[in-house]
C-alpha cells in the first residue's frame, strides 16, 4: 500500500482522480527525518487499507508537482480528497500524532 510511488506524470491520475482520499508523502532520499517518517507511515498503513491511499513523491525527481504544492521542506505530508488539498503537515510526527492528524482531517 505505502510503497506506491507517484511522479509528475501520473500525479493527477493517482492522487487527484482517486476515489479514495490520498496521503502524499513528499520526501527526498537524502532526508533522514523522511526515512523515519516512512517507517511510521508503513506501521499505520494497514489501519487505513481500503480507506486511504498512501503514496510517496520524491521531490528531487518531481519538480513540477513539488513546485505546484510549494514544498519547501521535507518531509511534508498532504492529504487530498476529491482532488483537493485538505490538509498539510511539515516535519516528523510520532505514530500517535500522525494517526490523530489523519483522523481529525478525514471524517
Annotated catalytic sites, by residue?
31, 34
User: Distance between CA 80 and CA 68 in Å, rounded?
Assistant: 14
- Given phi > 0 = left and psi -120 to 50 = alpha, else beta, which region is 70? left
Q: Cell numbers at residue 79, please?
A: 492529504
Contact 25, 57 (CB under 8 A): yes
Amino acid at each position: 500500500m505505502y510503497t506506491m510511488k507517484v511522479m509528475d506524470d501520473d500525479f493527477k491520475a493517482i492522487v487527484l482522480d482517486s476515489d479514495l482520499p490520498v496521503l502524499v508523502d513528499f520526501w527526498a532520499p537524502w532526508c533522514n527525518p523522511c526515512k523515519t517518517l516512512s517507517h511510521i507511515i508503513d506501521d499505520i498503513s494497514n489501519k487505513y487499507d481500503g480507506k486511504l491511499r498512501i503514496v510517496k513523491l520524491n521531490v528531487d525527481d518531481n519538480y513540477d508537482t513539488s513546485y505546484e504544492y510549494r514544498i519547501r521542506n521535507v518531509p511534508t505530508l498532504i492529504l487530498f480528497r476529491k482532488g483537493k488539498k485538505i490538509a498539510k503537515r511539515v516535519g516528523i510526527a510520532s505514530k500517535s500524532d500522525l494517526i490523530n492528524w489523519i483522523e481529525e482531517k478525514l471524517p
